[in-house]
Amino acid sequence: MEQKALYEEFPFLRDVGRERQEQFEEYFKSAPRWLMGALHKEELKKGTVFIREGEQADTIFFLVKGIVGATDYRIYGTPYDFMQYDKAYAFGGMEFIMDYDLYRTTLRAMTNCTVVKISRVMFEKWMYSDIRAMKYEAKQVGECLLEEGRNSRLFLFMQGADRLALLLVERYEKYQKNGCLHMKGSQRDLADVTGLCVKSISRGIKKFMEDGLLTKEGKQIVINRQQYEGLKRMVSEKVDLE
**What pLDDT, on the 0 to 100 scale, is given for residue 76?**
45
Residues facing 217 on adjacent strands: 220
Of the residues 105, 133, 155, which one is the last residue of a structural domain?
155
Digit-by-digit pLDDT tens for the chain (242 residues) are: 778 888 888 888 888 888 889 989 999 999 998 998 899 999 999 989 999 999 999 999 999 999 898 876 654 455 555 577 888 889 999 999 999 999 998 999 988 999 999 999 999 999 999 999 999 999 999 988 887 776 666 666 677 788 888 889 888 887 888 899 998 777 887 887 777 888 989 999 999 999 999 999 888 899 999 999 999 988 887 765 55
Tell me how far apart the alpha carbons of residues 119 and 40 are, in angstroms, rounded to a whole number.
10
Whole-model pTM above 0.85?
A: no
Q: Are 131 and 173 within one domain?
A: no
Please report whether residue 23 resides in a domain. Answer: yes
**What pLDDT, on the 0 to 100 scale, is given for residue 90?**
92
Q: Are 179 and 73 within one domain?
A: no
Tell me how far apart the alpha carbons of residues 185 and 167 are, in angstroms, rounded to a whole number.
13
Q: Are 170 and 192 within one domain?
A: yes
Q: Are 29 and 139 within one domain?
A: yes
Query: For residue 199, how many other CB atoms are within 10 A of its CB?
Result: 10
Of the residues 155, 173, 206, which one is the last residue of a structural domain?
155
**What pLDDT, on the 0 to 100 scale, is given for residue 120?**
97
Query: For residue 200, how many other CB atoms are within 10 A of its CB?
Result: 19
Q: Are 150 and 40 within one domain?
A: yes
Q: Which amino acid is at 18?
A: R
Q: Are 117 and 28 within one domain?
A: yes
CATH number of the domain to which 171 belongs: 1.10.10.10
Q: How many CA atoms lie within 13 A of 23 on its CB side?
A: 18
Of the residues 131, 155, 179, which one is the last residue of a structural domain?
155
Tell me how far apart the alpha carbons of residues 46 and 34 are, in angstroms, rounded to a whole number.
31
**What pLDDT, on the 0 to 100 scale, is given for residue 97?**
94
Please report whether residue 241 resides in a domain. Answer: no
Task: State how many domains the chain has.
Answer: 2
Q: Are 53 and 124 within one domain?
A: yes
Sheet holding 215-217, edge to edge: 180-183, 220-224, 215-217
Domain with 225, as residue range(s), is 159-236
